[in-house]
Each structure stands twice: as structure tokens, then as C-alpha cells.
């Protein structure tokens, strides 16, 4: 899958970090859907583009490709981490 390398980098970063020194401690579940709203089992190109810094989550939210449900504050903290590494 195209985005496997992105997910592997995230897992590696988590494994390397000290759990007692983590600033992001929430769990996120991503449900990817196609343009018709149908669930996609594989991670789509948009996530790959975010992971390779070709597009931002902010852009995906603005264009309606991403919908955030749940803890908005935790999601914003996660976005700050993506922005710092962009």
C-alpha cells in the first residue's frame, strides 16, 4: 500500500519516544471514505500526501475531504505536531 511507509514512520517515532515525555496522548481513529461517502479499507492518496508533506490536514479540512468528529482539542494538538514538522 502506498501509505505504508508513512504509517511505519509514525510507528517508529512512537517507539523511539519516551512514553512519559509524550505531549500527544490521545488515540485517533481514521476512517477513510471515497467521494460518495463509502468506506475505503485501504488508506487513500490524501493521507499519503499529508505524510509526504505535499498537502496539509488543514487543506483537506478546508476542501471538505476530511471531517473531524470527537475531541477537537486533541485533533488540533495533533495538527500542531504535523505543522511543526512540515
Q: Domain with 72 in it: what CATH number? A: 3.30.1050.10
* pLDDT per position as a tens digit, 15-74: 888 878 877 677 677 777 777 888 776 557 777 888 788 888 888 888 887 778 888 888
Average pLDDT over every residue of 73-77? 84
Residue 84: band (very low, low, confident or very high) from pLDDT cuts 50, 70, 90: low
Q: What is the DSSP string of 31-79?
A: --B-TTS-B-SS--HHHHHHHTTSS-HHHHHHTTS----S-HHHHHHHH
The more confidently predicted of residues 11 and 3 is: 11
| Tally of domains in the chain | 1
pLDDT score at 18: 84
pTM of the model: 0.52
Residue 28's domain comprises 4-84
Check: CB of residue 49 under 8 Å from CB of residue 42.
no
Give 6's pLDDT tier (boundaries 50, 70, 90). Answer: confident
CA pair distance 51, 49, nearest whole angstrom: 5
Residue 65's contacts (CB-CB under 8 Å, 6 or more residues apart) are 46
Strand partners, 39: 33
Amino acid at each position: 500500500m502506498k501509505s505504508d511507509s508513512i504509517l511505519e514512520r509514525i510507528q517508529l517515532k512512537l517507539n523511539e519516544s519516551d512514553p512519559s515525555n509524550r505531549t500527544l496522548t490521545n488515540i485517533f481513529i481514521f476512517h477513510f471514505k471515497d467521494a460518495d461517502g463509502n468506506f475505503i479499507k485501504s488508506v487513500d492518496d490524501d493521507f499519503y500526501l499529508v505524510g509526504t508533506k505535499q498537502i496539509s490536514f488543514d487543506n483537506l479540512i478546508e476542501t471538505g475531504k476530511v471531517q473531524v468528529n470527537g475531541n477537537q482539542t486533541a485533533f488540533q494538538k495533533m495538527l500542531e505536531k504535523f505543522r511543526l514538522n512540515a
